[in-house]
Structures are given as structure tokens and as C-alpha cells.
Structure 1
Amino acid sequence: MAEKQQLPDINSPLQGSERYRGSTAPPQTSTFKRRLITGLCIFSLCIPTHWVSERYDISLPQIPTPWSHQPSPSSLCRQVPPLFPAVKSKELEEMDAHIASEAFRNASIQRLGGAVRIPTQSFDDMGPIGEDKRWDIFYQFAEFLETEFPRVHAVLGKEVVNEHGLVFTWRGRDGGLKPLVLMAHQDVVPVPGETVDSWTFPPFSGAFDGRHVWGRGSSDCKNSLVGILEAVEELVRAGFVPRRTVVLSFGFDEEISGREGAGRLAPFLLERYGKDGVVAIVDEGANMNTLFGTHFATPGVAEKGYVDIEVIVRMPGGHSSIPPDHNGIGVMSELITHVESNLYSPHLDAQNPYLGLLQCGAAHSPSFPSKLRKLLSKHHSSKSSAATCSQGGKRKDEKDDLALEAAKASPGIKYLMTTSVAVDVINGGVKTNALPERTRAIINHRINIGSHPSDAKQHITSLASTIAKKYNLTLHAFPANASQGETPSSITLRAESTELDTAPVTPTLVDGADGVLGLTPYGILSGTTRALYGEEIVVAPGIMTGNTDTRYYWDLTRHIFRYMPGWDPEEEGLGNM
């Protein structure tokens, strides 16, 4: 459970002479964070030189659906050539040399370690800001950032939203261009005291063992936050001024749904820039993975939906010496078993980014499985049927052979195209000799692309009705208000307030309106990635199984990327899919 951040070594790609090849061990004199910082520097530099307008119109499906005309596989996953900054200066060359230095490496390690050592934990039961003292740790973290990044604070300035949300605005030379937003969050998942002894290093030590920085937040996501600030600090030091305004937006409660942080920051930015007033957003997310023998970069362009469904079983109490055949806990157990016996099957909606990833695998991976290739060529997605079905254009009773085959790779892959169901909370009963009168469970659902939280509600209503009928209980399925339901001898279903639809899918076309390859937000990100990591990297659309703070930013732009620069093959895992 020890959280760590890999620090492999690279040469700075701003030199333009050396690029890290994924199959070659990187040199031992650089760091993961240097790659992160350099990537952000390149991205910032590429934006004003290549991404000069927003005049293009992306009106086609985000992920091409090729089945009508059967184009060649390579045309379904066109790769943008590497994009390098056109901006050159002596100061930027000096910045490049500084980033590649041992001194910068050591300072960067210390900065990340220092950030980890401030335990910015966010707890599920946090009280109001100003009343709950656990929020106060974020004052210390803000002071740390101000000390470590003086140029950012002096040149960009800092705006504070809801006491701990941070906004930095780097004014661009062209005020007519929409700004770019870079996001991260300051908070980390709490560490239960009883688990501290099981950590390789103490969870808030920020220890560096010569290869890794250890501790909570080192990879989620203080590495990103510190990396963004280091990139901007170095660019400001070099005298660089972006053509396009760059906004840094840092929430502080992402790990507990982000209501106080991103939930306030997004409206703040929306009021300033307006609907669709931002060119693109980059937040934490996926990065690199090796699939089908090929190295892929998979920026997240979608997120699954979310709904927690509360289930309450009310049954008569009494003394445990005279029990009924089935009390409330027993009935709840049977209902849970019924739910787990009727899970969702994998389905690939036409807009699911994993379909795009499979297309890229077929186009660029010689070892792409022949069975998947055959099923992919037969896979049809009908928009007309998608309007009437909840599972990606296929009838509810029709299995999706492509999705079923792809899901065999791993549970992590399976749930990129499947609504997940997990019973995470259960309680009932207060005394060993008293029958439980109220038993409660919460069932978490992560909603598949092409489906909706209402589908999960309908599904569990059907399952609960079977149990209610069997035990002569009244079913209250999602009553209009909280005062309804919970009558004696009943089952009540309620949706928690965290309900969230699936995210709008970011367009992944690479051709601009004028036909120039790469002149789209996704194209710019793709070309920048391949400049940084090498042309053998295939950029393909990715999807997140979890949710990020971007859930609050949908109105600001169509172009949201959940993407973490930086890659070490030894660190691949679920977060990289």
C-alpha cells in the first residue's frame, strides 16, 4: 500500500537530439519529475506556436466509427508527427540545461518530498471550512508553495477561492485566445493510524531511497501539482510569456468528491470565461501503458458515470430467542447475493474510448490478437438503436462479442466497458439479543459509457422487487423525497447525492478544419507526447474507471484530458490504462 513516485532518468527532449525509446533503459541521471516538467514546458511552448486559433469545427463523432466504408486500419488511428516548440532563445536553452542538471534534480526531489511531508488529508466527514480544524493544514501547504515558487506567485499572482482553492493566471500575449487550464489537487487520501506500520516508509515522510520518493501524494497527485508549478517557475525564470493565457486551478478535496474545491473553482472560472470559454483542460489521469506489445499513451478523454444506491430493509424487531426464519440482515444478504448474481455484461458503446484504443491496437500493433482483430472488423454500432437501448446501441439481450473477448484481458480492462457494482457499506443490528429492525447497505455503481444512472436504478429496482415480493415487503423505489419510504416491513431504495452522468467524450480527431494534421487540441497533445517520448509511442484515446475534479468543469470546454506526463515501464498498472 506504500505510495511512491518513480524517478527514472531521461535527457531533456528540448535539446532535440535525444529521445527516450520505451524499449531502452533510461540513463541514471534524471528523474520522472524532470520528464513531467519538461513535458509541461513543451506543451506550454507548443500551444502558442502551433495551436493558433479555435476556428476549426469538430463536428464528426469523437471516435471514428468506420464500419460503413471499412477504411484501412491505419486510417482509424492516424498519428500526429512529433511537435517541437518553434520558440527558441538563449534563455530557453539555459533552462533546458538547468532542468537536466543534478542540482535541479536534487532540488526537485526535495520539493516533492516537502509537499508530501505536509499531510493534506481530506476525510469523508469533514465539517464546514472555518469550523473543522482539519482544513487548516491547507494554510501550511499554501505557505510551502509560496516559498518554493516565488516567481509563480510574483508574476502570476494567486487568487483564493473558498479559502483553500488556488487559482494562478499566467496572462498571455494574445487576449483573444481562449485560455488553457492545468489542474491538480492538493489533498490526499487519509492514512488510518493502525496501518502506518505496514508502510515501507512512513506515509508522510517524503523519503527518497535513491530511486523513489515515498509517501501519500507522491503519485496522486502532488507530483503533478509540483511539476506544473516547477514548469511555470522555470519558464518564467527564462523570460517566456505564453501567447495564450494559462490558468492553474488547484482544488483541495478531490478525494472526497471535490464539492468545496473544484466545485467552487469551476463556477469561479465559468463566470470569468463563460461557457466553452476555455480551449482545453488537462488534469490528473492516465499516462503510458504497454498493450499488445506496443507502447501506448492513453490520455483519458472520458469518465464513467457514478451512482451510490442506498438500500434499507425494515423488518419487525423482537428478541433473538424467538427469531423468524429470515430477519432483516438475512433478507439484505439475499438481496445482495441476488444483485451480485445479476451483474452487467461488457458492452462497447460507439463512443467508448476503449473502442478507439482497440482500433489503434489493430492499426499499429503487430501482435494484436487475431481473434480481437476479427471481432473488431465485425463490430457494428448503430446510432439509431443506441437511442432506444441503454447499452451502447445493442439490444439488452444481445451479447457484445468484441467487448466480452476484450474483457478477458483483466478486470481492469473489463470495467472500462462495463457498469461495475460493488457493495461497499453495510450495517444493521445494535445488540446480540435483539433482532435488527433496520439494515442498511450502499451499493456503488460506476456507469458504463452509453448507459446512465437511471439504468442502474431500473436494474436494482427489478432485483429488489423480486426479494420484496418473496418476503411480502413493500418496495419504495427512489421516492421523490426523503420523508417517503422506510415504512415497517419494507425495502427502500435511494440514490445518494453523488450521482453523476457519464462525462462528455472529448473529441479525438486530429485534423483541423483546414485539413492540417494535428491542429486540434487532441492533435496538439498527441504530437507533443510523441516529441517527448519518441515516434514509436502510439497515442490512443483512454478512459478513466474513476472520476476526477473535471466533473465540475464540463461547461468550460469540450476538450478535457485526464493525463499524467511521465512514464516508467516498471510502474505500469491500473492507473495507466
Structure 2
Amino acid sequence: MVIRHYELGKTHSSNPETLPKQPIFYPNERADISVINSQTVFRSKNFRDVIARRLAGAVQIPTVTYDEMGLVRVDPRWDVFYDFSKYLRESFPNVYEKLEFATLNEHALLYTWKGSDSTLKPLLFMAHSDVVPAPESTLDRWTYPPFSGHYDGEYIWGRGSEDDKSNLIAILTAIDCLLNANFKPRRTVIVAVGFDEEGGAPGGYGARSLAAHLLDVYGEDGMEIILDEGIASIEEHFGTEFALPATAEKGYLDVCVTVDTQGGHSSTPPDHTSIGYLANIIQEIEKNPFQSRLTSKNPTTVYLKKAALYAKEMSPALRKAILDPSAVNEVIKYLNSSHETRTLIRTSTAVDVVRGGEKVNALPETAYILVNHRIAVEESVQIVKDHYLRLISPLAKKWNFAIRGFEGEETGNAGLGTLTLTAHSELEPSPTTNPDDERFGWLAGAIRGVFGEDVIVAPVLLTGNTDTKFYWRLSSQIYRMSPWRASLDTRGTMMHTVDERMPVQGLLEMVKFYHEFIRVVDEKRRSVD
């Protein structure tokens, strides 16, 4: 979330005493747990080093998934996940002894901490054990080898240290601490760990199987709250600390545009080769972006209003525009001025792959592009497909090409060639979690109880996708966040790239949050079912 780029000027916010107060929750029961863990265990250097070593050991097991992976139990690249499961069992013996544990599809892990009150819906935590590769071409740029799990007293270095083994280790550590304090939940707590979130299996071997199992056991809307990974969620915007749980995520679609033409010798070329036609198509795509919109369906709207009300520093013009419903076009203009923030209010378009040509003296018969889209919450897969047909049909007519649409239908005359449109990896935008629901208040109150009453909690939109895409039917309250202060990494997050690392202080914050959130939610009851 990069709204902070819009700090065009500074002024003090409205009088905070006139604003509605956000909730702040601390566990009311078992005060001894707070004394022992929060005031003693969590503050000890020994505990800090223990959790750092746990994460370091997890990083040292290279649970890499690739875009093209074979079946589990067939492709040997999955076998390293057996080592990872063994490592978790050895690192958390008390968790494995006290909680129900199951594996699905060999490497998906499911932990169930049974509560004493079966009428209460479970609290579900999600994580994933797989990581993206560390390309050999980048190895000399790493401060420490990518799977070294090096711990220097401040950071744990290596692939997966942040995304997402930090969340997994923090969740299991928090549960372990509660078990050691003899905490017995009334509300069941579930931890579901996928193993192909990073794209190793297009069909979904891990989270898909976990979600199907949980749906079978608990039914639709069977979870009270689902919490999955997200951005490092405590950030400073406009001179104010914000906690940023994502309450929706954009959809996804890859579009392939293929140009087929006659070949021939390059000594007698036509006006355009298939690559030349493709260049014109790329130009047309980039000249016609999707419309930017800011509606109530987009969590960005709520975030901006919270920022305008509570932020200590903000451009007067931006604050005024945000709080004036008739000035929405001005707010859109602000957001459109950066390629980073405009992705929050429109379907994004990125031409990422171009292929064509085999030899320099042969006209290429076929060339294609792959275009990636992250679909705005107000739009759909079909809207993106329709957009392409509107853009490309006039070109096909102009060039005397046939056009083959997404459903295989063909129109026009293939006098000089054919344009073919295909779609891949279709995913609609997620449902949007209602921030007015009292359960959002539970989350906000627990966040402020851990990170301080000066922290403002505001929902945001996640522009990427998580494993929650398989869990939509299990709860209307789905949040995506990694609960630690991004400012603890002074050089900025390095997720998915060279020198990925996790500050041990951030890891400790995550443990504290999960520890307290479990207790807060355990004491809460919904006023209306």
C-alpha cells in the first residue's frame, strides 16, 4: 500500500476528541498469561533467539515451487516438503501432542485446537510453506546464500524468511506459548498450511484440498474469521501509523494474443510481419487502459476516509477532496498520478511476454504476447475479455484478418492472417469483507491492543492474490495481513527478490499479535448470528 506518496503538503487533522474512537481490546481472562508471556517470556533474549532459530531452520529447507510442477508423489521436487513437515514436528512437539494434526494431499498441513464450546465457529489461520525460486543468476548478489537461514542478531536472511514461513512459525509459536500457559480455548482454532501458493500447481494441490476438507466438515460460512498472509501491515502514512488488513483482493486473468500470417523470405517482406502487427496491437492495448473508478465496493474508499479523518499530516487539498463525496474525481486524479496507486482503482494491464520469430532471414508465421491483468473489484473476467474484442476487432477488419474470440468463435476474412484471443488462469475479484461487521472491530481492537492506541486500523485492497481464493465460501470475514511494523526493515521489504529477510523484532511482533488475537476472539461472542 503506497498511498503515502500523496503527502503533497502537511496540516494537522481534525480535533481527535471529536472523532469516533476505534476499539481497543485486551484479553480480560487469565491475566497470569499476560504477565508470564507478554511481560516476561516475550521480552527475554532467549525467546527472541529461539524464534529466530526456528525461522532460520525453516528457511534452510528449500521448499521451492515452480510454475510447472508435476503431480504430488510423481514429481520428485515435492519430496523436500517431507523434510519440512519433519522439521515442524521436531520444532513444535507440544503442538503436535496437544492439537489434532492431519496431512492432506501429502504436504498440506492441518492443525485443529479443539475448543470446549462447539457452538462457536472456529478461528482459522492460514499460511503456506512453499517459496519462490532464487535464480542462479542472482546468487552473487545475496548478502548471505538464499537458503542459509543466516541469523545476525537482527535479521533472519533467506528465501521464505518473510513470505511466508515467518507467519507459519509465528502462529505455531504463539499456540505453543499458550499451551505452555495451560490455556484452553472455548473457540476452536485451526491452522491450515498450503504448499503451492506461489504457483507450483495451477489447479491447487494444497489450499484447495484444505478448503474442500474444511467445507465438508464445517459447511458454508463455517469459520468465524479467516486470517491469511498479506503485506507487512503496520505502516506509516501521512505521519500516522496505520494497520492495514486487506479485506478484498483483485481478480486475475492472463490474455494471450496470437498473430498468424504467411511466412516467406525476409528479402521480400510485406509492410508488417506478424511481429509488426503484434507491435501495433501492443500499442493499442497500452493506449487504452481500463477506466479508473473509486466506489464503495473498493476498500480503498474506506482507507482514504480513515486517513482523512485520523491522519496527523496530509495535504489540505487531498483531505478536503476525500471528505467531499462530490470531489471523487479529484481523488481519482491524485491516485492516477502514480502507477503504483492507480492499480488500486483500475484493472491493471501488463504486457509481460513477447514471442515470435525463429531465424533472421525467415518471416515469422506466428507471434504472440501474454498480457497480465489484475481485475478491479467492480469488474469481472468477462469485462476484460469484452475489452479486448472491442480493441482488436477494428484492427482485424483494417488488416483483412479473421479474429478468433475467447470462446473459439471466428469472424472476418482470413485474407492476410488470423488474430486469436485466449484466456488463462481466470479468477474473479474476491468478495469484499464488510468493515462495519463487529468482527472487524475484534480484529481492529486486538491490533490496537498489541501495537498501541495511536495505531489507526483501516481496510485496504490487496492487488495480488493469496490462497484465500479457495476459502471464500467458508467465511464472509476474510482478512489478509502480516502483523508487524514494516519500518523495522530499514532497507525496505525484499519479498520475492534478492536479500529477502525478516527482522527478528517483526517476528516477535507477529508472535505477540497471534497470541493475543486468539485470546481476544476466544472471549468474543457475536451479538447477532
Shorter-chain TM-score category? Answer: 0.7 to 0.9
Following the alignment from structure 2 to structure 1, what is the Cα–Cα distance between the partners of residues 16 and 37? 38
SS of alignment partner, residue 79 of structure 2? helix
Contact 2:354 2:368 in 1 (8 A): yes
CA deviations 1:273-323 (Å, max 9, x no partner) are: 000011010000130121121111110001011111111111111122222
Following the alignment from structure 1 to structure 2, what is the Cα–Cα distance between the partners of residues 574 and 350? 32
Following the alignment from structure 2 to structure 1, what is the Cα–Cα distance between the partners of residues 361 and 273? 13
Tell me the CA shift for residue 343 of structure 1.
1.5
- 2:428 match: 501
1:264 corresponds, among 178, 185, 209, to 209
SS of alignment partner, residue 400 of structure 1? helix
* Mapping 1:114-153, distance limit 5 Å: 114-153=57-96
Tell me the CA shift for residue 342 of structure 1.
1.3
CA pair 547-276 structure 1, distance change in 2 beyond 3 A: same
CA pair 302-437 structure 1, distance change in 2 beyond 3 A: same
CA deviations 1:387-437 (Å, max 9, x no partner) are: xxxxxxxxxxxx9332121333x4322211121100112211222222111
Tell me the CA shift for residue 563 of structure 1.
1.1
Contact 2:23 2:441 in 1 (8 A): no
CA deviations 1:498-536 (Å, max 9, x no partner) are: 1111111101015xxxxxxxxx21101100111111111
- 2:445 match: 527
Matched, 1:422 2:350: yes
Tell me the CA shift for residue 76 of structure 1.
12
* Mapping 1:333-348, distance limit 5 Å: 333-348=279-294
Following the alignment from structure 1 to structure 2, what is the Cα–Cα distance between the partners of residues 260 and 73? 52
Tell me the CA shift for residue 203 of structure 1.
0.8
Letter of the 1:128 counterpart: L
For these two proteins, the number of residue pairs brought into alignment is 475
Contact 2:149 2:157 in 1 (8 A): yes
Tell me the CA shift for residue 445 of structure 1.
0.5
- TM-score, length-normalised on structure 2? 0.85
- 1:275 match: 220
Matched, 1:379 2:316: no
Contact 1:172 1:244 in 2 (8 A): yes
CA deviations 1:472-511 (Å, max 9, x no partner) are: 11111212489xx999811011111x1111111101015x
Contact 1:79 1:539 in 2 (8 A): no
Following the alignment from structure 2 to structure 1, what is the Cα–Cα distance between the partners of residues 440 and 415? 53
- TM-score, length-normalised on structure 1? 0.78
SS of alignment partner, residue 229 of structure 1? helix
1:411 corresponds, among 339, 350, 353, to 339
Contact 1:183 1:248 in 2 (8 A): yes
Following the alignment from structure 1 to structure 2, what is the Cα–Cα distance between the partners of residues 74 and 346? 32
Following the alignment from structure 1 to structure 2, what is the Cα–Cα distance between the partners of residues 107 and 123? 31
Matched, 1:491 2:419: yes
Following the alignment from structure 2 to structure 1, what is the Cα–Cα distance between the partners of residues 220 and 388? 36
Contact 2:145 2:158 in 1 (8 A): yes
Matched, 1:208 2:151: yes
- 1:323 match: 269
Tell me the CA shift for residue 365 of structure 1.
1.6
- 2:503 match: none
Contact 1:166 1:250 in 2 (8 A): yes
* Mapping 1:186-201, distance limit 5 Å: 186-201=129-144
CA pair 138-574 structure 1, distance change in 2 beyond 3 A: closer
Tell me the CA shift for residue 466 of structure 1.
2.6
- 1:87 match: 29
Contact 2:486 2:493 in 1 (8 A): no
Identify the structure with the greater strand proportion: 2
* Mapping 1:284-299, distance limit 5 Å: 284-286=229-231, 287-299=233-245
Alignment RMSD? 2.4
2:403 corresponds, among 475, 482, 502, to 475
SS of alignment partner, residue 82 of structure 1? coil
Following the alignment from structure 1 to structure 2, what is the Cα–Cα distance between the partners of residues 459 and 306? 15
Contact 1:422 1:445 in 2 (8 A): yes
Following the alignment from structure 1 to structure 2, what is the Cα–Cα distance between the partners of residues 478 and 401? 36
Q: Which consecutive unaligned segments of at least 5 residues does structure 2 have?
A: 1-13, 496-505, 507-529
CA pair 184-377 structure 1, distance change in 2 beyond 3 A: same
CA deviations 1:149-170 (Å, max 9, x no partner) are: 1111111132111111110000
SS of alignment partner, residue 415 of structure 1? helix
1:460 corresponds, among 353, 378, 388, to 388
Tell me the CA shift for residue 226 of structure 1.
0.5
Matched, 1:113 2:56: yes
Tell me the CA shift for residue 110 of structure 1.
0.7
Matched, 1:169 2:169: no
SS of alignment partner, residue 182 of structure 1? strand
Following the alignment from structure 1 to structure 2, what is the Cα–Cα distance between the partners of residues 558 and 278? 9
CA pair 162-437 structure 1, distance change in 2 beyond 3 A: same
Matched, 1:252 2:195: yes
Tell me the CA shift for residue 95 of structure 1.
3.1
